[in-house]
Chains A and B, each alone.
Chain A
Amino acid sequence: MLGNQFDTKDFALLAVVLLLPAIGAFVNGVFGKRLGKEAVRLMALTAIGGAFLASVVTFLSVPHDGGRLSWTVWRWMSVTGQSGNSVPIDVKFSVDAMTATMMLVVTGVGFLIHLYASEYMKKDPGYHRFFCYLNLFCFAMLLLITGDNLPVLFVGWEGVGMCSYLLIGFWFDDEKNARAGKKAFIVNRIGDFGLILAMALLVYYCGSLTWEGIDNSKLSLLAPVKIWPIGNLSKETLPVFLGNIIIPDKPVQVYAATLVALALFLGCAGKSAQVPLYIWLPDAMAGPTPVSALIHAATMVTAGVYLVARLHFVFLLSPAAMAVVAVIGVVTALLAASIGLFQHDLKKVLAYSTVSQLGFMFIGVGVGAFAAGFFHVFTHAFFKACLFLGAGSVIHAMHARIHDTDRSQDMRNMGGLKRFMPITRWTFFASCCAIAGFPLTAGFWSKDEILWSAFSNNVVNSKAAATPRMAPYEWPPWLGQAIYWGAILAATMTAFYMFRAYFMTFHGNFRGWSIVRGWTDPHAGHDHHDHHEEHDTSKPLEGPEPHESPAPMTAPLVVLAAFALFAGFLNAHPIHIAPLGHFLEPVFKGAEGFVSEREGAKGLMWVMMAPGFAAFLVGTAAAMYVYLNRAGQPEKVFAEKAGGLYRLIYDKWRIDELYDATVVGMVDALADIFTMADKWFIDGVLARLTAMLTALAGTLLRTLQTGRIQVYAAVMLLGLGGVGWFMVYPHADVTADDTSLRSTGEVKLAAAPGYGYTFRWEGLTGTDSQLTERSAVTVRLQPGEKKNVTVFVKNAFQLETSHTVALERPGLPPGAKAQSDGKGAAPPNVPGMVRPDIPTGEIPADDIHKLLLPRGADQGNNKGAEK
């Protein structure tokens, strides 16, 4: 709308958006303690509020034709590309439609959560430290979104990882929280390992790391890359039996695009808690609830989806990677939803629901519906933040009497809170409907869009046809439907556990403590955060009525609930009201060629919406039956009957233990072996063994020193004898000067002189000379002729020895075809030595591209000598 006010190339408003949170973090962090809580709160809120306003202005001034507002700050560094050219990496920010929306979400939801947290954390001594980290997190998230190239995104990427480490471990005096923070950072770091690999690959193949740069040179990603066998492993270099087992006859080759996409996806899986690396998110609930709301619901976890959407043109080049993304998405959705079914901790339920909803988003981007996936990110931010904040206000109320974190979050201690906390109850209910997919709510539209595109999309790599060498992977026709039905199952489970949580918390009677009207806290001055409860648990706990949270906590709840209900209409495709869809459309226009409607799914859109709605109905009804009418009895019955399965699901399928036993255990054992080897083997051999050997040699030689003079004299005599022996016997040696061997075939032989020596040569051309003083002889050789020359030496003591020298002149014997080039053997083939074998004669037209394409282009090894 504002369109042309700002210069698109030097969009400095971004400085305001980025720097405000950074300044807020610095001021709160360094001076917070002295400024006092009010000032810290004011600083934090103004920082995020300002950033939000600036984001709104940016949102309005984003050009509609798919252009971007960019702002280059300075040259960060430059890296060497494929053929030695230097790839510049600048600190550059750019905003297009997607980034603008994400900025709105981050700063908008961020502001609401800051407002909420300023009330929630009021009594916490580390108030200024909390807001410093929160502001720093928003700065890092904004960096991530607005980054114009992968390294700047990576700065934000690890920045948010670092902030989540600090925030999860905020109450670090409890060992459990610190370990959860460390676990989150390390698992994120495993993801970042994938991102670093992807960046290295892109530098090599695309010669650039900015979004346009990669987009322009994305075709070079279609070069096949030999994955296996790596290095010089081949049938020859390996023992035979091992060789033909692990070395396939044709090397395993994969598109570079697939490698890059999978590496990127590993990063996204780490950050957005997908199946292999999701274990850190449930433990991240150890942090304060606003942290879970902001980081582990609205912003950070969606960074993975943002990255996949941002680099959709890379993912689209390899349908195999898209399939992996979609399948992992549906598997995560199912796994997390199943675990969420029986969790008792309210925040754990919400955590698993986040993981499951993220699975949905990855299904969306996996099947090529990037706009749908991104829209689900948009709506999920609202209702998940509202759920977490609702849970926070419930926990805040429970803290009145139950101070132990685990028991205050346990749903079995809650129940019937709808009477005491009406606002929290209704907002929680609204968000539950949204997430479960109640028709017309935000969740319904975004999830349905994903389900429909999963059902109908067919992904094909149209560009792959251009490179005939490797057949691109085609999607099996049934995969779309399989994902669709898996998602439907996950949706039912989502509806079930969400309403289970709702009913267990707000309905039924209050199980926390017996409510005594007008109850006053005996030791009022008690420090709110004291964890160790003195009074015994034998007599039932009394306490006041759980109170509704104060205004700054409930206001954000209401706003978020409103968005949860009505945000769906921003992109409701079936009823063609999709302003946000049109706004995002230019960003993903690159996807047309690759994603098309499956012919089997023509016109079935409205029909396929029914299973979605049915899922919602079944899930909600089941939850209502189990937890509202029968107040949770069936769950206990099921627990006794299928105890094993129940406990297995309750223990999160024991995936953590599986990881500990395999991956972590293996690395631990390897570390022990290395430490032991380092101490005993390497240090032992190099340091201690040599020391011991020298000591031993010392003792041996010491025995010679007997102190008696005659022994010394005798040893001297032996020495004399040895020298004498050497003098007495003759030594024959010959030095051959063959510098002119090649040209004239003439070799000058010279025998080593000695006292009283006489020489006799044999094997010369014909004449065997008698014993003469002559010690030097010249031998003439024909090309290709071999000759052995021996010299006999006699000395004054009439003792004689001999020494033979083999002489050989290279080249063909004179008779053969006189073609000998006379040059030494061809230069040896040194691995790694670049020798372009340029074929002589004309090059047929269609072979030219073979020469031009980067290394590994032809059938041979990937980065071998072909470069």
Chain B
Amino acid sequence: MSGIGTFDLLFFGLTTLLVLLGGIGTVAAKNPIRGAMGLLTAIVGIAGMYLQLAAEFLAAIQIIVYAGAVVVLFLFVIMLLGPQATTSAGAAGTKVSRYFGAGVLLVTSVGAMSLLWRTRTEIAALPKLPPGHGTIEGIGRELFTTHIVPFELSGALLLVAVVGAVAVARGKQIDPTSAVKVAVAKKPTKQASGEAEAHTAHAKEAG
């Protein structure tokens, strides 16, 4: 424990506080907006921790991508959903089964923690950092040499994700050009219904 700067410890305490409160806030909040805000604070806390762990580039990415994009996206969706977004907390599932689940979860996690505690050894001394560790040059060099394939693939992945999200979110739009025909078919004449039936019969037979 010797050799830890008091300022470092303070900063670490702050970021831990941010992270844990944010996390619990996200999970426990009734209103999803507060949840999103909790998420935001957790993400910022983690960015702080990255800084302490000599990962400046990642901290920046974290702030830009996560805080900037993902949380904002969450807020958009919450706004889109409007009041229904806040589901009535107690509606589904009896209280007993939910808290029983939580209890089991806590017990297991405490048990796991105690097991890990048994394997504790002295805290290893922090190794000396090579210069430029975690900076954008170091990561950039590695990113574009050893990890070039995953980099390209993640590009493709993002493209697919975007197209997918748009397709799913957009849902069934009425084809503007077909608007005219629909109008004509309105008259419930026998001939049309026959044609419709034929159409559906054909569809069923093709299926």
Contacts and interface: CB of A to CB of B under 8 A. Distances in A.
Touching chains A and B, CB distance < 8 Å: yes
B101 A728 contact: no
B108 A728 contact: no
Contacts of A796: 119
B204 interface: no
A715 to B, nearest CB: 12
A310 B105 CA distance: 97
B112 interface: yes
A49 B118 CA distance: 114
A644 interface: no
Interface in A27-56: none
B119 A714 contact: no
B101 A797 contact: no
B119 A797 contact: yes
A798 B118 contact: yes
A717 B112 CA distance: 13
A721 B119 contact: no
B113 to A, nearest CB: 13
A714 B118 contact: no
Chain A interface residue number, banded: under 10
A252 to B, nearest CB: 75
Contacts of B101: 714
B115 interface: yes
Nearest to B105: A717
Contacts of A724: 112
B108 A797 contact: no
A88 B9 CA distance: 107
A533 B115 CA distance: 107
Nearest to B119: A796
Interface in B103-151: 105, 108, 112, 115, 118-119
Contacts of B105: 717
A797 B112 contact: no
Nearest to A714: B101
Interface residues of B, number: 7
Interface in A793-812: 796-798
B115 A721 contact: no
Contact of B118 (A717, A721, A797): A797
Contacts of A714: 101
Contacts of B115: 728, 797
Contacts of A728: 115
Nearest to A756: B119
A796 B101 CA distance: 30
A797 B114 CA distance: 10
B171 to A, nearest CB: 22
A728 B112 CA distance: 10
Nearest to B98: A710
A714 B98 CA distance: 12
Nearest to B121: A796
Interface string B76-111: 000000000000000000000000010001001000
Contacts of B119: 796-798
Nearest to B116: A797
A798 B105 CA distance: 24
A728 to B, nearest CB: 6
A797 B121 CA distance: 11
Interface string A778-797: 00000000000000000011
A201 to B, nearest CB: 74
B149 to A, nearest CB: 30
A361 to B, nearest CB: 86
A717 B109 CA distance: 11
Nearest to B92: A708
A717 B118 CA distance: 23
B15 to A, nearest CB: 28
A721 B105 CA distance: 11
A724 B113 CA distance: 13
A724 B108 CA distance: 11
B87 to A, nearest CB: 14
A728 B114 CA distance: 12
Contacts of A721: 108
Interface in A516-564: none
A865 B105 CA distance: 71
Nearest to B117: A797
Contacts of B108: 721
Nearest to A799: B118
Interface string A709-726: 000001001000100100
Nearest to A798: B118
A794 to B, nearest CB: 12
B102 to A, nearest CB: 11
B90 to A, nearest CB: 16
A714 B101 CA distance: 9
Contacts of A717: 105
A728 B108 CA distance: 14
A714 B108 CA distance: 12
Interface in A721-737: 721, 724, 728
A728 B119 CA distance: 11
A797 B115 CA distance: 7
A517 to B, nearest CB: 92
Contacts of A797: 115, 118-119
Contacts of B118: 797-798
A335 to B, nearest CB: 82
A724 B112 CA distance: 9
B97 to A, nearest CB: 11
Contacts of B112: 724
B25 to A, nearest CB: 21
Interface string B179-198: 00000000000000000000
B115 to A, nearest CB: 6
A716 to B, nearest CB: 13
Nearest to A720: B108
Interface in A432-447: none
A798 to B, nearest CB: 5
A724 B105 CA distance: 15
B163 to A, nearest CB: 25
B107 to A, nearest CB: 11
Nearest to A796: B119
A531 B115 CA distance: 103
Interface in A746-802: 796-798
A303 to B, nearest CB: 76
Interface string B24-37: 00000000000000
A728 B105 CA distance: 18
Interface string A573-585: 0000000000000
Nearest to B112: A724
B79 to A, nearest CB: 24
Nearest to B101: A714
A796 B115 CA distance: 10
B146 to A, nearest CB: 28
B63 to A, nearest CB: 30
A714 to B, nearest CB: 7
A404 to B, nearest CB: 71
B66 to A, nearest CB: 23
B95 to A, nearest CB: 15
11 contacts: A714-B101, A717-B105, A721-B108, A724-B112, A728-B115, A796-B119, A797-B115, A797-B118, A797-B119, A798-B118, A798-B119
Interface of B: 101, 105, 108, 112, 115, 118-119
Given A796-B119, A798-B119, 9 more contacts: A714-B101, A717-B105, A721-B108, A724-B112, A728-B115, A797-B115, A797-B118, A797-B119, A798-B118
In the A-B complex, the 3 residue pairs with the smallest Cβ-Cβ separation, listed nearest first, are A796-B119, A797-B118, A798-B118
Interface of A: 714, 717, 721, 724, 728, 796-798
